[in-house]
Amino acid sequence: MTFEQIDSSVIQKSVDEAIQRYGAKQDELIPILSEVNRSIGYLPGEALDEISKQLKLPKSQLFSVASFYRMLSTKPRGRHVIQFCENAPCHIAGGRQVWQALVDELHLEAEENSADGKWSLLTTSCLGICGVGPVMMIDDDIYGNVDPKAVPDILSRYH
């Protein structure tokens, strides 16, 4: 098993803190889900159960919202999440070669996690820094003007 089961107490704490911060109201659902997703790395079923209880919302509704938004994930993610912009302006600036370099280096396709739990390779919608395309984000780090030859070096910075 490469993706460890997250401890229940960790989940409870994350949910409690998020609800404390935003309040137990339906219109705060997305901020709450985003916060929990950020702290745990994704939204485990147990987290949705707990939020459903505290907000008094049906779990189906939570799942419907959690599965709609790209930045929320109900599936585990790797330790490091690579988000690559695959939209037209980055594509025209040479994005295809950078993507190929990522695929070659990681042996992953889009939306896949590496077997050792280290990487998630995702495509993302436009990050709004098209002036420096091709662009990718690893965790919270943004890389612009990415050269395909620089990809192995960039990846090696993450452990």
Partner 1 sequence: MKYYRSHVLVCVDPECLKKGAHEVEDALQDELVAQGLIDEVQVLETSRIGDCANGPELMVYPEGVHYTNLTPNDIPYLVEEHFLKGRIATKFVQEDKKVIDEELSAPTSKEVRVVLRNCGVIDPENIEDYIAEDGYQALGEVLTEYSPEQVIDIVLRSGLRGRGGAGFPTGKKWQFCRASAETPKYVICNADEGDPGAFMNRRVLEGDPHSVLEGMIIGAYAIGSSQGYIYCRAEYPIAVRTLNIAIKQARNMGLLGKNILGSGFDFDIEVRMGAGAFVCGEETALMASIEGRRGEPRPRPPFPAVKGLFMKPSNINNVETYSNIPQIILRGPEWYASMGTEKSKGTKTFALAGDVKHTGLIEVPFGLTLREIIFDVGGGIKDDKEFKAIQTGGPMGGCLPKEYLDLPMDYEELAKAGSIMGSGGLVVMDEGTCMVDIARFFMEFIQDESCGKCTPCRVGTKRMLEILERICDGKGQEGDIETLEMLCEQIRQDSLCGLGQGAPNPVVSTLKHFRDEYEAHIYEKRCPAKVCKSLIRYEIVEGVCTGCTVCARNCPVTAITGERRQTHVIDPDICIRCGICMQVCNFNAIVIK
Which of 19, 43, 48, 93 contacts partner 1 by CB under 8 A?
A: 93
54 forms part of the interface with partner 1 (CB under 8 A): no
Determine which helix (DSSP H) or strand (DSSP E) holds 89, and give its type and residue range: helix 88-90
129 binds partner 1 (CB under 8 A): yes
* 72 interacts with partner 1 by CB under 8 A: yes
Identify which range of 11-19, 46-54, 113-121, 123-131 contacts partner 1 by CB under 8 A.
123-131
DSSP 16-77: HHHHHHH-S-GGGHHHHHHHHHHHHSS--HHHHHHHHHHHT--HHHHHHHHTTSTT--SS--
**Site residues (vs partner 1, CB under 8 A):** 25-31, 33-34, 64-65, 68-72, 85, 87-93, 100, 124-133, 140, 144
